[in-house]
Chain A
Amino acid sequence: MSRLRSILFFILVFLLQLAISNYLNLGPWITISLIPFLIVQIPLQRSPHVVMLAAFGLGLLLDWLSAGVLGLNAFAAVMAAAPRRILYRLLINDEQDSTWIPLIRTAGIDKYLKYLLILTAIYLAAFILLDCMSVRPFWFILVKFVASTLVSTLLGLLLAFAFQRRS
């Protein structure tokens, strides 16, 4: 799979996230985030420092371009980027993937899904807790977290299939 294609896909997914944040109104119960999927798409050989800085930059850019609360997505992205390597080793640890990005084909859909689900859950837990900080009831936060995690993971998985289909 060419590097150029991966970079273009990365930019395209970020633009999709921007469109979702700016124009798709799903109400206060669901927050769709593709940033965890983009964190998964950062090549595996990159050091944790690079991954955290890239995630922070992505989050900050999204905060700014969607006119949200500055720092909210940046914080959540750093939280998800930090344990990425540990999670990969624990859940997938596929030698074939170690030079580029995790592939459903080699890692298996169950392992890939678990990996994406956990990163998305970490991201959204950080995002929703900071956003709703002490002003919303626990049940609201829980329902929003579960619904947002499921929808975001499913969308990420569909994008992964679309990206890896022809590779």
Chain B
Amino acid sequence: MNNRSGLLSTLSAILLFLVLAAFSIVLVVNNGAVQRFRLLGTARDLQAWGWTRTDNIRTFFHYRTENQRLVEENLQLQQQLARYQTADRLLDSVAVRVEPDFSYLSANIIKNTVDRQHNHLIIDRGRKDGIEPGLGVVTGRGVIGIVDAVGDHYAYVISILGAGQTVSAKLAESGAFGPMTWPGTRPDRMILREIPVHIQVNPGDTVVTSGYSIIYPPDIPLGSVVSTQVSQGASKELAIALFEDFRALHSVYVVRNNQQPEIEALYEQAP
């Protein structure tokens, strides 16, 4: 009798183990970010409220660095604006009306991880600010990630520092482009792959967004080349030092491609 109940207990323990392990794997495979935001919206809002408070304290000690960064970014934007104003005057002279391709919305980061294999950020803009899943998140010094899930006041952003995340990038000088991925070891390094071997690359060369993506605008500076190596004799792999310091990130821009619906409609029409 005892043997039988012991056997039953062992079998039920094994069954429970298999059920719990399988359920966990299903959760991991589905990743759960979107579900968490939709099903647990109120609880997540409370959590985000807590993160906002702790982030306020952290931000207080980073004002000087953040100000310096904003001054530099402001300078770059003013230079860009000057160029656009010149172009605008020329366009006016030939009576062509041009709508901007991308629009931007600033956001503050209230939570940011850089030490995991799948990193993420939470920003203080949500559905009520017009944020939608699929929008890009950038700064003046790099690409940060893609909005994955949206609550009323907050959004969950998948960082480019994550397994499986790719940014289409090109060398500013030669225009040679390829996918840039994170090797998972340092938050300030990425790898730019598939650069043809005949392309001359030097340490210090700048890498920017290619523009071959409907998410990110072209020519956002991403980083500079640290080293190169030939991969399997077919192409070059470049180690890139990122300009943006993900560990000291406080504010970002959510970017919307205004032409995205038209481009997606074209994809749908394509056979």
Beyond A67-B122, A131-B116, A131-B118, whether A29 also contacts B24 by CB under 8 A is no
Q: Which of B181-199 contact A (CB under 8 A)?
A: 183-187
Q: Which B1-22 residues have a C-beta within 8 angstroms of A? A: 9, 12-13, 16-17, 20-21
**9 additional contacts, CB 8 Å, given A48-B16, A53-B16, A56-B20?**
A49-B12, A59-B24, A63-B27, A64-B40, A67-B111, A67-B122, A70-B30, A71-B26, A75-B21
- Neighbouring A residues of B107 by C-beta, 8 Å: none
Of all chain B residues, the one with the shortest Cβ separation from A23 is: B54
* A138 lies within 8 A of chain B by Cβ: no
Q: How far apart sit A60 and B21, CA to CA, in the bound complex (Å)?
A: 12
Contacts A/B (CB < 8 Å), 7 sampled: A22-B111, A28-B114, A63-B27, A74-B24, A75-B28, A79-B21, A133-B163
In residues 26-62 of chain A, which contact B (Cβ within 8 Å)? 26-30, 47-49, 52-53, 56, 59-60
In this assembly, does A78 line the interface, its C-beta being within 8 Å of a C-beta of chain B?
A: yes
Binding site for A on B (CB under 8 A): 9, 12-13, 16-17, 20-21, 23-28, 30-33, 35-36, 40, 47, 54, 111, 113-118, 120, 122, 156, 163-164, 183-187, 247
CB atoms of B20 and A71 under 8 A apart: no
Q: A49-B16, A53-B16 are in contact. Are A78 and B117 (CB under 8 A)?
A: no
From the candidates B16, B33, B164, B183, name the one contacting A52 in the complex (CB within 8 A). Answer: B16
From B27, B187, B247, residue with most partner A Cβ within 10 Å: B27
Please tell me the number of chain A residues within 8 Å of chain B, measured between CB atoms.
37
In the complex, are the beta carbons of B184 and A135 less than 8 A apart? Answer: yes
Interface secondary structure of A, over-half rule:
helix
- Distance to closest chain B CB from A162 (angstroms): 26
Q: Which A residues are in CB contact (< 8 Å) with B23?
A: 71, 74
Residues of chain A in range 62-101 having any CB-CB distance to chain B below 8 Å: 63-65, 67-72, 74-75, 78-79, 82
Query: Are B184 and A140 touching (Cβ within 8 A)?
Result: yes
